[in-house]
Structure 1
Amino acid sequence: MAPLQIAGWFVGTFISKVADLGILYVKNQYEYRDVKGKLKQLEKNLRKIQAALFEVDKRRITNPGLEEWLWDLKDSVYAVEDVIDGFEYNLLEDIAKGKNQLFFEEKSKHRAKIKNKFIDTLKLLTFCKEDLNQLDCAIKKFTELVDELGKLLKVVELNVATNKKDDAEIPNWRRTISPVKPRPLRGRDDEVAKLKMLLEIGNNSNPDSNSFSLVSIVGPGGIGKTELARLVYNVERLQFDIKAWVCVCNNFDVRRLSLEIIESAAIHRHVGLRSINNLDEILKLTDLHSISNLDEIQKILSECLKGRRVLVVLDDVWEESVANWENLCTAFRSGHKGSRIIVTTQLESVAKMMGTKDIVNLDGLDDKINWEILKECSLGDQNLTEHRRLERIGWEISQKLGGSPLAAVTVGRVLKYDLKEDHWRRILHKKICEIEEKEDRMEDIGQDLINELSSRSFFMNEKRKEDKFVIHAVLHELADCISDGEYFRLDGEYEGNQPIRIPDKARHIYVTADNLVMFSKILCKKENVRSLVVAGDLSNGIPKSDFVDSLKEVLDSFKCLRLLILSVLGSGLPKAIGGLKHLRYLEIPGDVITEWPESFCKLYHLQWVNLKMCSKNLSLPEKMNRLIRLRRLIPSPEAISTIAGVGKLTSLQELKKYHVQLKEGFEVGQLSAMNQLQGKLCINNLQHVESMEKAEQAMLHTKEHLSKLKLHWDYKGEEIIQHHKWEGAEKVIEGLKPHSNLRKLSISGYKGCKSPTWIKNKFLSNLEHLKLCNCSSWKALPPFGELPLLKILHIRSLSSIDKIDTMFFGIDRDKICVNPQREKKVNNVSFPSLEELLFDDLEKWNAWDGLENGFELFPCLRKLLIWNCNNLRGPLPLPSFLRELTIVLYPPSSIFPKDMPPTSMFKIYTDNIHLIRDCLEERNPVLLCTLEIHGIFVLRALIEKDWFFRLNSLKQLVLLNCGTYNPPELQNISKRCTCRRLRRQTSRGQRWPKVPSRMMHRARC
């Protein structure tokens, strides 16, 4: 049973894919009418078989003949896919050689839409005789299978024709119920109050409707109409004798609705108000569903409601027929005065048709309220400080939902499935109607499948290896049983004459290197193998030449391979690999590859190349850029950067380094169409880019999957950067605007004076790490304090910076002057997420301005490092939670504030006595936790001034290059402070004698 169902499911899915591929080739074959007719016939047969398989799976039919037929069908589907794959190979070859161009229009869902040029290419595609012969064989085989299927289905008495479902049936997903305890409604207080009031006082404006009044709740789908009705339906103080809840949908069948009202009334009656025993009697004596006469059912309903105060909810009404509505209302008129009918509908015309005077209109919720709903459904009780980035993305998603609480709940549950930023961003960039669709990128599909199988404990993470998964032995046996010989392992030890049988169904083979040599003749007979894994090394008794010959024979036979993994090559890359035109995945050891066969660059379907243990000097073939389907190439980054015309690899997802050169094929514009790049990208030698127009050709703003970007200029030995050169650099960097998703940015060697506009205006709101290095002409720092998620900021060798002011903090000085004593608010925080700040080699920096009141600076800063900023003067903005302060200055400075926070813990590294003796206020040293002293002269000076006696908070003392100097004052240091740890380093690694026993002592070279 299980193998049959699994096979049926697999073949059905596979057929759908192959049929769609066939249609793609059929639609525009004007010049090859015979081919078009054949493909249409093939597609027709595929659809027939798919419909039959759907019925087989739905009815769980088991039949030995049908099971055998399914395996034959599977073989045939594989064969058809090979034929269509061959057609596509010819197309890709033409494109790779430049005969035709393939244009892709990238959408937010990453779906490549083939445009007019592709249609033109199909028209010009030449079908060789071999392709047409294979197509004829496939069509003939499928025709036979369809005929055989008809006979089998007659045996099992299965009608293949699509069974039409009863139109009256309401889909389960549209059915609604009245819960005992409805969920609280957010943002609907006014609507709830209005609806309760209408139910209490009723509507007596219509003299013909004395027995009941109508209230309509009108609004678009998912806006909360049903939830509002549920809430008032369960209000205890709104007492009714009988309550009935009916889901109407688009099937306004008066008979069905009447029956459901009777049944619902029997359950939701209010016991104790009036005698309703006759309702029990009616239900006991009458088989309601056997009554076909509508008049009889209406009489029973009238009897049930007679003289009683009734509340009926008709949920999700679409019917606009007055006649149908009047037929249903006939029974309602027998109810007691004060009865109420609540109707929920998306159509105001329905409410008007019913004659409703009281309408409660529902509009979209406020964005903040809808965000709270989405946050509750996605993050729940998660620690929000750990998901600040997700919060920002979630807020953007909530603004796209139009205030719909149902959309917020639905999308929230999809987001909760995976609390990773990539998943949330994929949802952000989708249309709401596409949320439930699978992604087209195979990496996204694969990740979703891995997550799903892991959540069901089918896969388990291997310990200490996050990217490795294992499967339980029991589940492995089950999978092996279900595959029924399609997967075969040849990994045992066999004698030379021992017979071995490989199943005819085998499509995926795992074999050791030794067994490949031993059983190569048997393997060569299995021509339809699609996956081959050769594992292990050769034993000492088998010559490498034998392995090379055996591998060549096997590869010459396995023309249908999609996946090839070789753990050993013997010598070089076999030329036979170039004949595997269907190959998608190749994994081989790269350390033995000295040259590439020319045929390798004809593997136009190849998507993934993994070169294990390849050398840094590995050179790739000259025509590597013809592999236009390539998604991953995993040698060293330097090797990929040597590919001329790498921009043709538009599906490539990883290009860690790209070196701009002045020769053709290495322009920055090669990056233009490479929109699938993800992870890190470093662009070197940007001094070779001449203008903003050239820089814009890189289209960095379209690289939404990039998380790290490094922009590097290298002027190499040019002593003076002329005015026109740095002015040109400013235009170039302006044209290198990245995507707003970027998380890490590094700019080095930039010689412009001004900041690019895209770094000034909060555009990079997702940035976490920012590094500026060796930008010697940069004169003013942009408002980095406005970046909400920035955690690490390193600024090195910006030699033209002379001061840091309010612009750096993102503070508007005019606003501060208006009300300097205003209370702190969220938008008054500068650098709200910054944890580490480094300034290094800012030789002209002399002042840190902009420390006015009214703004909170660095609330999360833990580490402040200032190196070689020798002209710096004035106070430092030290937050109360600072954990490390590192300052290396050589001339005397006075930079510490008088009100240094008392709860801080500081590390001060210095080789200048003036920094300790003159810069720190008399009371400041008591705050020091860690002190590192360079040189014996500094140590002597501190001891002479009795400076150590004031270090009451000292916990660690580090002495560097102090020789064997051992003054008696240090012997009593542990008595005067809390120091428990001494680390000492000398040029020769000598130990310091007579160290106090209470102090930890480590010598370090």
Structure 2
Amino acid sequence: MAAAETFVFNIAEKVLEKLGSLAFQEACLVWGVESDLRRLENTLTNVKAVLLDAEEQQFHNQELTVWLGQLKEVFYDAQDVLDEFECEALRKQVVEMQGSTTRKVRRVFSSSNPLIFRTKMAHKVKEIRARLDEVAADRAKFHFSPRSDDRHVVRGREMSYSFVQPSDVIGRDQDKENIVEHLMDPSDGQSISVVPVVGIGGLGKTALAKLVFNDERVIEHFELKCWVCVSEEFVLKQLLVKIIKSITSENRSDLDEEQLQVLLRNNLDGKKFFLVLDDVWNEDRGKWIELRKLLMGGANGSKILVTTRSPTIASMMGTMSPYNLEGLLHQKCLSLFIKWAFDEGKERQHTNLVEIGDAIVKKCKGVPLAVKSLGSLLYSKLDERDWLFVRDNEMWKLNRKEGDILSVLQLSYNQMPSYLKQCFAFLSLFPKDYKFISADLIPYWMANGLLQSPNENQDPEDIGNQYIDELYSRCFLEDYIDIGYVREFKIHDLAHDLALSSAQSECLIINCQIQNISKKVWHLSYTDNTWQNENVLKCLQKSKSLRTILFMDGVGPSTKSFVDLCLSKFRYLRVLDLSESSFEVLPSSIGTMKHLRLLDLSSNCRIQKLPNSICKLQNLQTLHLGDCENLEELPKNIRYLIRLRIFSMTTKQKCLPGCSNSLRFLLLINCGNLESLVETMQVCTSLRLLRVDNCGGLISLLPTLKFLTMLEVLVIGNCEKLDLTEMGDNEDDFPMSLRVLGFTGLPQLVAMPDWIKRSAKSLQILVIQRCPNLTALPEWLVNLKSLRRLELHNCPKLSSLSKGKLCLPALRSFTISECPELIRRFQPEIGEDWHKIAHASEIYLDYKRIK
């Protein structure tokens, strides 16, 4: 049977959304295509009504899968055609903005011939309508039932604020003690012992390994600790890079294998280490022996903990009998289920649901991930029918194999809203164990039009964070941290398998084994240097429908030829991520990529100048130029990027050109010559986040802050000349509503600036680190009623938080490190200021969790 076609309903919905917008309807009238587009809309509406039923029925009908594939192709092409009208409208808007600008500049942006455009687009619309009519006519033979997508995102549960909650790991205390006992045993006769933990997917092997890894006894017993997620590919060089990064925090992928081996031996030489190799799949004994030899330089008593689903691998790698992780006892599983399905204590009000839940838990066979997934699926649902649907679902009838947890996750996935499914599938472009940062991921979703909101006033970045929270609540994500304005997380390895299955041929990670790239592939990612592989390049040239090209883990192209290929072949790209590249010139043809929403050139150390044609990318939402250390200046017409929302940059300029008022996030990184931001800030009045890092020439920010009345996040670091307290008495007051404030590496900071008081009602997170001359926090600190996280690091002269009574009612997390006098005053129970912060749910003193 052909692979299932997914997301057809969602794509149809996005096309209809664009057709129905007021701006688009006005454009139709201008260009004389209203009649054809109205017929297209009617056909699309009728087809959409049966798509959910069609997507479900296709598993029993290969012909139906083919039909859905044909529809999807037409829908994507329709999106591209409709997008061209939008591009033209934006181009005209820029021309009107220029007013009395020089004739030369106006000519650059006014190059489109209205008559030619009208004729060309009328032909394209007719062609799309005819194709859709032809494919849609076949729906009659399948006997569909119209259905609507009544699933919705549930956001009732409060998201976890800190690192993994130990209370989430239920029933593994004895397992942890057993493993720790093995690790501490000096009498096993091995210079380096390997302890294998084996069990089916979803049992909690990784969670158990984390408990062991962070146990105080283990921390004190070993000189070095390393954590490496191995997953499917057991490639020696990649493993060496990961181990070294875990030890040194440095990515040394630039070294060859011989150099990496030397570096590893130097780091391990004579030291007693503890290494976790998580999620091992390799059954090639030769590869394991090769790695093991390189690890023999550690001291006697070094230990390696291996987690795997395979008993064969456990026996091959272990120096002791495998530790077989069993399923949780039923009562532990039921407790875990209730924890995820109900708010605390609410289960007592719904004994009928608990009874059904008990039957569901029995079917989970002791697998914690299955229990949590179904508990979260039923969270906030109080109708018995929803619970009975899960208990009696057909997925329980599937063959119970080693990977059976996937069928449980599939059930949770099936209940997602259609638009959330597509965002989830996009995660398959990233390798297993990839550490996601929401601020990096959400622009990819946004660029591909995957974010949907019933509220037009809601920013897409906020919608993206809601999607991430929802995926976490469904147990698809782990290692989740919410630090206020961004989330950090990983995708569970089994959820990654599900994402791969869901994405099917739409998303593809490129490697040397690729022999063919399907024309149905829309999104590509490179995780190694296969962009140089001739076979891969030939396959790539045959594909014309690409919308996303990503490079990650330091593998960006080093030649202009690959970039030329992208710009000449893939005219409908929405995302072009060339980060970590090292080519010298960005072709001027970049200006023809009018559908581009995201362009990432960050960490290119050779590029010195950008073509002014980049300013013709009116659809561009995200532009990353951070760590382009040789970039001389930005194009003068950068303000004509009228949809730009996210902009990060490194430049040698003293003053920045003005940007568009569409800007929401601005990051200035390593701009050592930068002296002033006034010209930029005067027009960026809608800015929500400003990060200024390593801008040594910047003396003052205050003249610019008065323009930023929408600012929510301000992060300033390593600006040695910056004086944040310089403000005259006659300076006009300006409203501020900061939620997050961070100061790092500011030697000029002696006292906290008074202008922060203006955010007393809104400030939720305050982080101050490496401010050696900061002596005290102000008395008005007590007014920060919304502050829920306070961190103070390496401020040795800081001796007190507040002389008076300090009561921060919202405080959840309090962290102090390398502040000796403060540490003394906040010692649990005995410190004179302990009572001021004792109500916080999490307290860390010098990197140790106290509470």
TM-score between both structures, scaled by the size of structure 2: 0.48
Higher relative contact order (CA 8 A, sep 6+): 2
* Structure whose alpha-carbon radius of gyration is higher: 1
Q: What TM-score results when the alignment is normalised by the length of structure 1? A: 0.41
